[in-house]
């Protein structure tokens, strides 16, 4: 049976590919864009199965109004995909206040407000599924991506909490966590102005690795999108879905390190309890 999807950030990258694949298999898509144009070819090809709505996730009021109209027109939306995103690249100290604000407003506040906007509609219709496009960077960290990681670690904590809050209404979540993937994301990164003192640090090393191609990008964008669709079709999907071998390896290593550190400091950790609870 055909499903109806509401997807943000559909002009390029995962959002565009997701829209294409879903339309190709016969689903209906309500795609959000900040401006008209990027999906005109798909509108001509698929007609009424594709609807385009215009809003920027950083404009909460406009976004809320567009979401209300989308649900009213569609009647029922099966899957909501929070995909709109942005990335600042560079050392935290190098970033401008404007870059920091845009990073957090787009990836974190924008995603939070979008999810908040769809929840009442999903509850009224008897449930639904929300896919939050996160990143391996929601569980691990690279130098040069501190602000991006702040937004992704933040949205993962938000989603894990909200998933518990709304589970009684048959609303569930998937945190899609792609590793480095061949999309336009790297080319569209907002670069900070480099400070010379970081040249011979992990910041400079990572900059050079990314610029030279030494940093290997293994992820295939189309396969990643198809895996997200497969997960969204599951009766009981995972809360977190790592995507790609880099994501699997890096998250696995990070979790092992955290467990090792937790166990190594167990005695000191437990010493913080009240005396009556210490064995």
Output the six-digit token pair for 128: 């639904």
- The residue from 82, 146, 151, 152 that is catalytic is 152
End-to-end CA separation in angstroms for the chain: 57
Closest CA to 30 of 53, 62, 58: 53
- The residue from 32, 82, 111, 134 that is catalytic is 134
Output the six-digit token pair for 236: 């009981």
Q: Is 198 a catalytic residue?
A: no
SS3 of 168-190: HHCEEEEEEEECCECCCCCCCCE
Q: Is 148 a catalytic residue?
A: yes
What is the spatial distance between Cα 95 and Cα 97, in angstroms, rounded to a whole number?
Answer: 7
Task: Look at the block and give the residue holding tokens 């989308």.
Answer: 70
Q: Is 152 a catalytic residue?
A: yes
- The residue from 86, 148, 151, 250 that is catalytic is 148
Q: Is 250 a catalytic residue?
A: no
What is the spatial distance between Cα 214 and Cα 234, in angstroms, rounded to a whole number?
Answer: 37
Catalytic residues: 11, 134, 148, 152
């Amino acid at each position: 049976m055909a499903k109806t999807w509401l997807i943000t950030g559909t002009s390029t990258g995962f959002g565009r590919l997701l829209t294409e694949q879903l339309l190709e298999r016969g689903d209906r898509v309500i795609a959000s864009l900040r401006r008209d144009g990027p999906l005109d070819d798909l509108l001509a090809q698929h007609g009424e199965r594709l609807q385009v709505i215009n809003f920027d996730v950083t404009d909460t009021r406009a976004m809320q109004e567009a979401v209300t109209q989308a649900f009213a027109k569609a009647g029922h939306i099966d899957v909501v995909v929070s995909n709109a995103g942005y990335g600042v690249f560079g050392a935290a100290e190098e970033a401008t206040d404007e870059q920091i604000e845009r990073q957090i407003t787009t990836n974190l506040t924008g995603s939070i407000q979008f999810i908040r906007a769809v929840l009442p509609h999903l509850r009224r219709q008897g449930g639904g599924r929300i896919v939050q496009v996160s990143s391996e960077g929601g569980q691990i960290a690279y130098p040069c991506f501190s602000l991006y990681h702040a937004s992704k670690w933040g949205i993962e904590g938000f989603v894990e909490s909200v998933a518990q809050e709304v589970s009684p209404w048959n609303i569930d979540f998937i945190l899609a966590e792609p590793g480095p993937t061949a999309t336009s994301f790297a080319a569209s990164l907002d670069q900070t102005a480099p400070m010379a003192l970081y040249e011979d640090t992990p910041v400079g090393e990572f900059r050079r690795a990314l610029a030279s191609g030494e940093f290997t990008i293994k992820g295939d964008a189309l396969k990643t999108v198809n895996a997200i669709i497969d997960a969204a079709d599951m009766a009981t999907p995972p809360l977190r879905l790592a995507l790609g071998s880099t994501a699997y390896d890096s998250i696995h290593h990070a979790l092992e390190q955290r467990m090792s550190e937790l166990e190594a400091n167990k005695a000191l950790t437990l010493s913080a309890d009240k005396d009556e609870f210490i064995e």
